[in-house]
Amino acid sequence: MRITTIQGSPRHGGNTATVLGWVEGRLRDQGHEVDRIDLASQEVGPCVSCYSCQGEKSLRRCVLPDDAPGLFDRMAASDAIVLAGPLYFWGVSAQLKALVDRSFSMVTGYGGPQHTSELGGRRLGMLVTCEDGNVEGNADLIAPFTHRLADYLRCTVAAEVIVTGCKSPDLLGDDARALATRFADDLTR
């Protein structure tokens, strides 16, 4: 299986990158091909609602001149996609949210019988790291966001995890590693 992971934290070596690295290691050990996208190293601007991508032309043709269209090509070439990022104000980071917003260009006919997505049929995983262990009232909006995004992109949610207690990458312990392993297994099951 070819899996694209998207590291949506602005910190290259932070908690999210560490946990995602464990997921990727497990996936590679199982024989899967992993392609990581580190959004902190990419230029992905916000959607500007120009609707150029919704005209009479092929999907994935956002007209904004940045890295997003190439990232969408990599995602479309995969069997599964993992979105990973820290919890910021009850949701995903700005880096990850910009890419999600721009995925508008990969979907046509939303809500109608002609609803199609360039990512249709892919398996989707959502991995979120946060310091606060109180998921209710803090990270409880992640699951509905993930499922609505999957519906919009015509994907199947295959794995979800919120790794709490993330104070520093060097303090992540066996519990976090076990969650990463289970997440990888769920994604490919």
Query: pLDDT digits over 20-79, tens only?
Result: 999 999 999 999 999 999 999 999 999 999 888 887 655 556 889 999 999 999 999 999
List, in order, residues 6 or more apart from 102 with CB less than 8 Å away: 44, 46, 47, 62, 64, 68, 72
pTM for this entry:
0.94
Question: What pLDDT sits at residue 101?
Answer: 96
Q: Hey, what's the torsion of the CAs at 69, 73, 75, 76, to 10 degrees?
A: 130
Residue 60: the pLDDT is 54
Which residues, other chains included, contact 41 with Cβ-Cβ below 8 Å and sequence gap of 6+? 12
Domains present along the chain, CATH in parentheses:
2-188 (3.40.50.360)
